[in-house]
Structure 1
Amino acid sequence: MPCQNPQDCCGGSCLQSKLPKRSQEVVSRVENDPVWTTTQDEESDDSQDPNKCDKHARGVCCRELKGDDERDLWISPDTVSDLVIGLSDGLAVPPALVAALAGLGDSKIVILGALSEVLAGSISMGLGGYLSAEAEMNHFKYLRRVTRQRVARSCAGEMEREVYDVLGSVGVSEDLSNSVAMHLSKLEPPPPPKQPSFFKSMATKFARKPSPLPTTHTDLRWSDEQGLTAFLLKYGEGVEEVPTSKLIKSAITVGMGYAVGGMWPLLPFFFIPEAHEAFKVSIVVTSIILFLFGIGKTHFTGATGGFGGYLYGGVSMVAVGGLAAGSAYGLVKWFDSRS
């Protein structure tokens, strides 16, 4: 298909029309003989290779062009989510406790109380991240087991209908969807064996086991990541398998995030013995960290960027942390005035 605007595309047809004569001959030989190896073309520059992007029009490959707000999100979404949970709680809960203890007037009491809370909170948040990832993993295993059993006992027409419910919503024709369902059914692993009851499994465990027979070569084409079950889980249910490494990674990320976030409000109390004066400095330090954390969260989560987007992310984090700390400080003052 000819290019409508040769300056805005880097397809083979557009590129060929703008290459030198020798490069056009190279393209012609490659198209006529796919097995032909371009030994002579290796001596030429990249601009003569038809597989390269067109760098003549704008001086940069079109695949390398980025939008105004396109960012490199080099941190995985799961890690960002765990960091946001840990740092958000660490920058909100300990400052609230610091604000409450600052009313007692002694920095040592603030340090001891807040350190105990940060330590206990880090362990608790880490265990919470581990258990959350474990629950997600167990939920996926359950869905995969019941989905595979349902696929095994369902007819071909029912599977075609379920596949079309997913693909038809994005514009795929019914005939093509049925072809996809037929192809996926050939890759479907056999259903898992029925789980024995608890007493039967215990009896089998302690019973004498016969010598195992030599196993035969199995068909290696079966995979849990292919077939109708994998398709229905990923695109129908919107769930994916949780690796075992995520359990430890989530626990460490959430726990360390809480500890790092919770230590910032305590720093002034290590250097200023008067709790009231240290608390004023702690408010400034915590506000700055909250603002920077809000900017980082906005960037790495892919939220609306630009000056307004980053400003909103920073100010919103400061507002949330200030509300938590101010509420705790106000409650302590109110109880102190009532006593």
Structure 2
Amino acid sequence: MSTRNLQAELKRHRAQELHGSPLGPWIHDIVYGAHDGIVTTFAVVAGTAGAGLSWGVVIILGMANLLADAVSMGAGAFLSIRNERDQYQRLLKEELHEIETDPEIEREEIREAYAAKGFSGKDLEHAVEIITSNKKAWADTMMKEEHGMIESKDGRALLHGLATFLGFLLFGSVPLIPYFLFREGSDNFPYAIGGTFIALLLVGVTRSIVTRERIYRGALEILLIGAVTASIAYGVGVALKSVAGV
């Protein structure tokens, strides 16, 4: 295959992958936030429904949970990515320092790592020679082999946190929508169940596409988690209703 044809095939291959989409880099964050948003907010709604609390209490508790947890999830995603990046840079500096001060030991570690991969004899020595001829490549290899870390080229930790926040906020609001549409006096819980079911199904299918697993698997898993969580919350609401005197 010619270089031009190979480049065309590579371009087509990348276009078929999720990162070829404008939302590609953020899909994981949105799905992660959306799933937690739906489940936690619906758990609050189910708990208040089980306790027979008023429309106003559902709105107050639901919105407080939704907004506070959305901020917490977004901040958590941001800090996780930033801390991982900072840790990588710190360890990389240590590896570069060790390469400068004790190159023979570091070279032997490369040799052991590639011997464990099946390299031997001249092939092993050739691989070691190539890797250790470039200090940055040498240090990057040590990071992968010794620490199990690969440098992330994505430095947009804040945007990943924002995607998680928005996913949580938008999808997490679904269980509360019936309570805003049909005010006090209506039995809104069945509508909340229906809306939550549809939202969880959508998130589950999207997760299956992202992880390239069978469509029904992701959907069923997320629906099961949502059902179990809501059942527990509803049961707690029913059980503690008389104790709390509501």
Superposition TM-score tier, normalisation by shorter sequence: 0.7 to 0.9
> Greater relative contact order (Cα 8 A, min sep 6): structure 1 or 2?
2
Question: For residue 318 of structure 1, what is the aligned residue in structure 2?
Answer: 223
- Whole-Å separation in 1 of the counterparts to 2:169 and 2:116: 45
**What is the CA distance between 1:140 and its match in structure 2?**
0.6
- Whole-Å separation in 1 of the counterparts to 2:11 and 2:208: 24
Query: Are 1:175 and 2:108 counterparts?
Result: no
C-alpha change, 1:65 and 1:79, in structure 2 (3 Å) is: closer
Query: Are 1:112 and 2:17 counterparts?
Result: no
SS in 2 for 1:172: coil
CA RMSD of aligned residues (A): 3.0
Give the TM-score of the pair, scaled to structure 1.
Answer: 0.62
C-alpha change, 1:174 and 1:291, in structure 2 (3 Å) is: farther
More helix by share: 2
Q: Deviations over 1:33-72 (max 9, x none)?
A: xxxxxxxxxxxxxxxxx9658xxxxxxx998999xxxx63
Unaligned runs of 5+ in 1: 1-10, 13-49, 54-60, 189-225, 304-308
- Whole-Å separation in 1 of the counterparts to 2:185 and 2:149: 49
Please list, as runs of the form range in 1=range in 2, the aligned pairs for 1:237-276 lying within 5 A after superposition: 237-242=147-152, 245-274=155-184
Structure label with greater radius of gyration: 1
Q: Deviations over 1:280-332 (max 9, x none)?
A: 111011011101111110111222xxxxx211211111110111111111101
C-alpha change, 1:52 and 1:144, in structure 2 (3 Å) is: closer
Contact 2:38–2:200 (CA under 8 A) maintained in structure 1? yes
Letter in 2 for 1:134: R
C-alpha change, 1:72 and 1:244, in structure 2 (3 Å) is: closer
Question: For residue 166 of structure 1, what is the aligned residue in structure 2?
Answer: 113
Identity within the alignment, %: 21
Contact 1:136–1:242 (CA under 8 A) maintained in structure 2? no
Query: Are 1:229 and 2:139 counterparts?
Result: yes
C-alpha change, 1:257 and 1:275, in structure 2 (3 Å) is: farther
Give the TM-score of the pair, scaled to structure 2.
Answer: 0.83
- Whole-Å separation in 1 of the counterparts to 2:4 and 2:169: 50
Of the candidates 281, 286, 308, which is equivalent to residue 196 of structure 2? Answer: 286
Question: For residue 56 of structure 1, what is the aligned residue in structure 2?
Answer: none
**What is the CA distance between 1:175 and its match in structure 2?**
2.2
- Whole-Å separation in 1 of the counterparts to 2:103 and 2:123: 18
**What is the CA distance between 1:276 and its match in structure 2?**
6.3
- Whole-Å separation in 2 of the counterparts to 1:170 and 1:250: 35
Question: For residue 145 of structure 1, what is the aligned residue in structure 2?
Answer: 93
Unaligned runs of 5+ in 2: none
Q: Deviations over 1:152-175 (max 9, x none)?
A: 22243x334322333334443342
Please, which moves more after superposition, 242-251 or 286-295? Answer: 242-251
Question: For residue 219 of structure 1, what is the aligned residue in structure 2?
Answer: none
